[in-house]
Amino acid sequence: MTTIATTNPATGEVEKTFDALADEEVDRRIARAAETFASFRTTDLARRAEWMRAAAGILDEEAGRIGAMLTAEMGKTLKAAEAEAAKCAQACRFYAGHAGEFLAERRPADAGDVGARDAYVRYEPLGPVLAVMPWNFPLWQVIRFAAPNLMAGNVGLLKHASNVPQTALFLEDLFRRAGFPEGAFQTLLIGSAEVERVLRDPRVKAATLTGSEPAGRSVAAIAADEVKPTVLELGGSDPFVVMPSADIEAAARTAAESRCLNNGQSCISAKRFIVDSACADEFERLFVANMRAMRVGDPMDEATDVGPLVSEAQRAEVEELVADAVGKGAAVLCGGERPEGPGWFYPPTVLSGVTPRMRMYDEEVFGPVASLFRVDGIAEAIGLANATGFGLGSNAWTRDDAERERFVRELDAGQVFINGKTTSYPELPFGGVKRSGYGRELSAEGMRAFCNAKTVWVG
């Protein structure tokens, strides 16, 4: 039986526990979702936009309280949690404003070419969509699913990670208070073992999962068996390539920010730093200094840059990956030792000399630990950047136009950020290739992911 509870990562104390829903209650909620969908799908778009803007208003007004809740549940710094709430409000407004344009009927240039008086594509919602979500951006991951889907006329069933139940319940309450009908967005407090039953229910039409590879594989296999569409947003081990023409100081500063983002627990944090040997000494010196300068401590403190890892198990996993690398010859340039005291803190750490024999070479490290590699030239840099099973984000630093074009063309990833760090924006599609998953969230692509692109032909 899964424990559904808030355990504060800064203290290790269990603050609140919750009972999982009984099967009958889960069934009632699925029934309510299906009933709501029957009328919600045809609600006026302007009405839905009004509710979505109201949700944005609540997120802005209550950012302080929401921030403290996120920090208590998963340990991100309060300033990062408040920024997450603001980003969610922005995404709600974006979809409220753009849904009409993204869902507009599309006509081919000349309907006569298909022998019709008129022919067009209409985007229709599919029905109740199950969202299985992770704890690391507990608000943002859900909003980036919910905002486009509610605007498209789908209804949501959220199975959130078991360690963020208060955020999960807040999200249900948010949409209800904003004006959406009762069954438009519901939270199911259930463990992962209950996901299969929900997903196989014929009233549930599709699923999206953000999380680890094993969870994605399991949900996708069940959905395939039921012939239901899925979007998978899985892990990443993003490369961060630095070429000699780059602004090395800016690259080293951004590298440390990216690796320590969300206490090192972001799918799109850069994790492998691949530096041309002509600028490697300078980059290493600055990068290590920036990692050392990160202030680790109480996530509620305004001055803190890096709070605790989410759980004891998560910290133990990071420590094992570091011990494995060091045991096989990697060098620790900074960090690598957990601090004394309560809470699951781990310092920003840089390792050099990571080789394919080490687990860290091709496993995702979900903590503030960087691997630093030296290469000779762009071909070797791209080869190493692509030498991973993951393909989520990628980052390349160069001021050379020809090099930039090679990175854009040859980096095997869902997104390429040049002279910056991978970030998600409502305006741009987000997703991965290879074992990082498939499908896209955000932008028009994210909105149409769970729409029936219905072809209409009128003779």
Of 10, 21, 99, 132, the one binding ligand NAP (CB under 6 A) is 132
Which is nearer to ligand NAP, 179 or 191 (by Cβ)? Answer: 191
Which is nearer to ligand NAP, 32 or 160 (by Cβ)? Answer: 160
Site for ligand NAP in 322-351 (CB under 6 A): none
Q: How many residues bind ligand NAP (CB under 6 A)?
A: 30
Identify the H or E element spanning 152: helix 140-152
Closest-by-Cβ residue to ligand NAP is 211
Whole-Å CA distances, 411 to 103, 231, 276 = 32, 22, 16
Of 210, 349, 371, 443, the one binding ligand NAP (CB under 6 A) is 210
Cβ pair 132, 210 in contact under 8 A: yes
Site for ligand NAP in 135-174 (CB under 6 A): 135-136, 141, 159-162
CA dihedral 34, 35, 40, 42 (to 10 degrees): 100
Interface characters, 83-122, with ligand NAP (x: CB under 6 A): ----------------------------------------
194 is catalytic: no
- Token readout for 21 is 């829903």
Measured CA to CA, the distance from residue 273 to residue 423 in angstroms comes to 17
- Token readout for 29 is 């909620």
Of 73, 276, 364, 403, the one binding ligand NAP (CB under 6 A) is 364
Cβ pair 252, 287 in contact under 8 A: yes
Strands 128-132 and 349-352: unpaired
Which is nearer to ligand NAP, 209 or 291 (by Cβ)? Answer: 209
Of 11, 43, 192, 245, the one binding ligand NAP (CB under 6 A) is 192
The verdict on 262 binding ligand NAP (CB under 6 A) reads: no
- Among residues 217, 258, 216, the alpha carbon closest in space to that of 233 is found at 216
Of 212, 386, 419, 452, the one binding ligand NAP (CB under 6 A) is 212
We find the least distance from the C-beta atom of residue 110 to ligand NAP, in angstroms, to be 40
Measured CA to CA, the distance from residue 161 to residue 165 in angstroms comes to 7
Site for ligand NAP in 365-384 (CB under 6 A): 366
Measured CA to CA, the distance from residue 174 to residue 184 in angstroms comes to 11
Measured CA to CA, the distance from residue 93 to residue 72 in angstroms comes to 27
Residue tagged active-site, from 233, 364, 403, 441: 233
Q: First and final CA of the chain: distance in angstroms?
A: 58
Segment lying near ligand NAP (by CB under 6 A), choices 11-19, 39-47, 234-242, 368-376: 234-242
267 is catalytic: yes
Identify the H or E element spanning 114: none
Of 157, 198, 382, 392, the one binding ligand NAP (CB under 6 A) is 392
The verdict on 195 binding ligand NAP (CB under 6 A) reads: yes
Measured CA to CA, the distance from residue 352 to residue 333 in angstroms comes to 7
Residue tagged active-site, from 88, 92, 267, 451: 267
Cβ pair 397, 408 in contact under 8 A: no
The verdict on 236 binding ligand NAP (CB under 6 A) reads: yes
Alpha-helical runs (H) found in 386-442: 401-410
Chain contacts with ligand NAP (rule: CB under 6 A) = 2, 132-136, 141, 159-162, 191-192, 195, 210-212, 215, 218-219, 233-236, 267, 364, 366, 392, 432, 437
Which residues are the active-site residues? 233, 267
